[in-house]
Amino acid sequence: MKEPYEEGLASHLGPESYADDGNSVGVALTSGTVRFSKALNRSVTGSMNDLVYHAKMWVTEGGSSPFDASCKLNEMPMSSLSYQNPREVFKALKLEEGERW
């Protein structure tokens, strides 16, 4: 049985809260330490700046909520990911990890 918090969170997140198999995906909410590091290369820095630009435009000009903007960012193709979107890449990594176990 799910806790009321999990049910509320899942209903708020909608399709973002479920994996392909229909199982709820855990979401960690923390206020932990923020760490900064160097980017891998300038291409990655450019991709990060592009994501920030799009998020700002969707929220300020397009009227999207920050959550909706983050969903759109997960669907943007990125050159550093061979023009796949982050969602596809993380799903593939999850499948690879599952195959190893």
What pLDDT, in 10s, does the model give residues 33-78? 667 777 778 888 888 889 999 999 999 998 989 889 988 999 999 8
d(CA 90, CA 96): 10
Sign for the pseudo-dihedral over CA of 35, 38, 41, 42: positive
Vertex 98 angle, CA 40 and 48, to 5°: 25
Is the whole model's pTM more than 0.75, yes or no?
no
Q: Tell me which of 68 and 14 has the higher pLDDT.
A: 68
Residues 6+ apart with CB under 8 A from 90: none
Complete DSSP assignment for 15-56: GGGB-TTSPBPP-------------SSHHHHHHHHHHHHHHH
On average, the pLDDT of the chain sits at: 75
